[in-house]
Amino acid sequence: MATLSDLIRHLPPPWPQQLLPAIRRELRDRPRTVVAVDDDPTGTQTVYEVPVLTEWSVDSLTSVLAEPDALVYILTNSRSVSLAEAQAMNREIVANLKAASQASGRDFVVVSRSDSTLRGHYPGEVTALVEALGRPVDGTLIIPFFLEGGRFTIDDIHYVAEGDYFIPAAETEYARDATFGYRHSNLRAWVSEKHSGQIATTAVASISLTELRRGGPAAVATALQQVTNGQVCVVNAATYRDMEVFVAGLLQAEARGKRFVYRTAASFVRVRGGLGPRRLLSGQDLAVPAPTGGLIIAGSYIKKSTQQIEAVQALANVVSLEVSVGAVLAAAQREAEVQRVIRLADEAISGGQEALVYTSRTLVTGADAVASLQIGQVVSAALVEIGQNLPSRPAWIIAKGGITSSDVATRGLGIKRAQVLGQAIPGVPVWRTGPESRWPGLVYVVFPGNVGGIEAIADMVQILRGEQA
């Protein structure tokens, strides 16, 4: 393990000039809506005052492209489905975007937003996007940098922060994911692995931190001119300034006719959309006086999530309700288990207490990746049913885990469009539900499974209660 200072000691300092003003000018001169096709709702974790859609009809897309916003998210939750289903979603979205673009007169650019710890349907989703766009691209850009979550790419190796130390991604529990596991932390080797060796490690291009920090946007534009014939290129980054340098150079290259498809984490999207940093939302911003208590729904099973759940259990006025995964998976027991949790959660919420609904912590996997996905879908469906049938409107909802938060939002609450308010904790997006949802105007916190320290969910609860500034 190494500290960040250990990893960047050999590098030049970041580029000295602010570049967001230049990026914004370029976006004004060549207006295109940035459409982030997100494989779970956590990708909104760096943006603010941005719409997020959970359905992608031509009418909805035409409407959003006609708005002045330069950035919109489309939530697919494709990480929870099979590769074939994920590809079909991406093809349908692009087909509808093309029709909406023609109807609105507004061009668009697509970002395939996925996990900063390298899980998801890559390269399948990117392949589907390119096919649906119907035009060749010069390259695919791999950009998993995510500052708020402690994900850095240095010397082509992707790192994940654990406390004050940084661990190569392949050495973390994320790399052992039952569906999306991998063996390599070097992104060039990871690309080769994900392409089943059909792309050699040496054939993957790379833009280094030294290039970014010494050459600036011009060096990036020059490097991207060399990326051709659909080549994959990984991008190193350790600060938002590195990301700004890259995006400024990328826009220069695209203005000269280069075409790329992006597979990225959340930090790239913010910069590509021209958004600057913004202060965190406070308890004063979010606390809503209500006679009822809040609801926390946790489906993420990783160790960090378990530790965060235990910290919430230590808070006063929290009723802890474990959902037995074994019972949910047993047809004869499922209904009774779901109804038990609904009854107890409603008693707590209507009585002004917080209800913490979480799945049992022993991970249940299938015989293969597809079977594991199906188990996850069954468990998530039970959590959705709890949210759907809860009689009392909670003061607010925190949903922990990407798949859980997506399913609860779309199927449990019926959200079709929400507004991203910002973040109250770094990397944790807060939404306001739309008028069509089951509970309009509700504060809905999308809490990624892989973000935050041990006290993070407990801190979020206290912010929403108005107990923290």
Whether residue 111 is found in the same domain as residue 231: yes
Mean pLDDT over 349-373 rounds to 83
Report the distance separating Cα 312 and Cα 319, nearest Å: 10
pLDDT of residue 288: 73
Report the distance separating Cα 38 and Cα 407, nearest Å: 14
Whether residue 240 is found in the same domain as residue 319: no
Whether residue 295 is found in the same domain as residue 254: no
pLDDT of residue 200: 98
Whether residue 243 is found in the same domain as residue 114: yes
| DSSP-derived secondary structure for 150-215 | TEEEETTEEEEEETTEEEEGGGSGGGG-TTT--S--BHHHHHHHHTTTSS-GGGSEEE-HHHHHHH
Whether residue 413 is found in the same domain as residue 458: yes
Residue listed under structure tokens 């074994």: 326
Mean pLDDT over 204-217 rounds to 98
Query: Is 390 part of a structural domain of the chain?
Result: yes
Who's near 264: CB < 8 A, 6+ residues apart?
111, 112, 113, 114, 141, 142, 143, 144
Q: What is the pLDDT of residues 433-458, one digit of tens each?
A: 999 999 999 999 999 877 888 999 99
pLDDT of residue 306: 85
Amino acid at site 312: V
Domain range for 423 is 283-465
pLDDT exceeds 90 at position 268: yes
> Could you give the percent of the chain with pLDDT greater than 90?
78
Q: How confident is the model at residue 69 (pLDDT cuts 50, 70, 90)?
A: confident
Q: How confident is the model at residue 40 (pLDDT cuts 50, 70, 90)?
A: confident
Q: What is the pLDDT of residues 157-172, one digit of tens each?
A: 999 998 889 999 999 9
Query: Is 355 part of a structural domain of the chain?
Result: yes
Q: Within 10 A of 92 (CB to CB), how many other CB atoms are there?
A: 15
Position with higher pLDDT, 360 vs 436: 436
pLDDT of residue 361: 64
pLDDT of residue 95: 98
**Which alpha helices (H) appear in 30-82, and where do they start and end?**
58-65
How large is the angle between the packed helices 124-133 and 83-104, nearest 10 degrees? 30
Nearest CA to 58 out of 26, 12, 95 is that of: 95
Last residue of a domain, one of 204, 238, 272: 272
Query: Is 114 part of a structural domain of the chain?
Result: yes
Query: Is 277 part of a structural domain of the chain?
Result: no
Best-predicted range by mean pLDDT (35-49, 92-106, 357-371):
92-106
Whether residue 228 is found in the same domain as residue 323: no
Tokens of 58: 């031509």
Position with higher pLDDT, 149 vs 244: 244
Query: Is 13 part of a structural domain of the chain?
Result: yes
Whether residue 212 is found in the same domain as residue 294: no
Whether residue 254 is found in the same domain as residue 296: no
Last residue of a domain, one of 243, 272, 301: 272
Nearest CA to 8 out of 218, 237, 256, 222 is that of: 237
- Asked if residue 217 has a cis previous peptide bond (ω within 30° of 0), the answer is no
- Backbone region of residue 196 per phi and psi (left: phi > 0; alpha: psi in -120 to 50; beta: other values): left
Q: What is the pLDDT of residues 369-424, one digit of tens each?
A: 777 777 778 888 888 899 899 999 999 999 988 788 888 999 899 999 999 999 99
Q: How many domains does the chain have?
A: 2
Whether residue 413 is found in the same domain as residue 303: yes
pLDDT exceeds 70 at position 18: yes
Residue listed under structure tokens 């393990």: 1
Whether residue 12 is found in the same domain as residue 147: yes
pLDDT exceeds 90 at position 105: yes
The CATH code of the domain that includes 220 is 3.40.50.10840
pLDDT of residue 117: 95
Report the distance separating Cα 405 and Cα 286, nearest Å: 19
Report the distance separating Cα 142 and Cα 126, nearest Å: 11
Contact in structure between 200 and 232 (CB atoms under 8 Å): no
Query: Is 278 part of a structural domain of the chain?
Result: no
Last residue of a domain, one of 240, 272, 304: 272
Q: What is the pLDDT of residues 294-318, one digit of tens each?
A: 999 987 667 778 899 999 999 999 9
Whether residue 32 is found in the same domain as residue 173: yes
Among 345-354, 395-404, 422-431, the least confident range:
395-404
CA angle 341, 397, 323 (to 5 degrees): 25
pLDDT exceeds 90 at position 121: yes
The CATH code of the domain that includes 358 is 3.40.980.20
pLDDT of residue 301: 67
Query: Is 251 part of a structural domain of the chain?
Result: yes
Mean pLDDT over 331-345 rounds to 94
Contact in structure between 126 and 233 (CB atoms under 8 Å): no
pLDDT exceeds 80 at position 285: yes
Report the distance separating Cα 316 and Cα 458, nearest Å: 10
Mean pLDDT over 1-10 rounds to 90
Whether residue 240 is found in the same domain as residue 367: no
Report the distance separating Cα 4 and Cα 123, nearest Å: 29
Cα–Cα distance list, 366 to 119, 131, 174, 181, 402 (Å): 18, 32, 17, 14, 20
pLDDT, averaged across the chain: 93
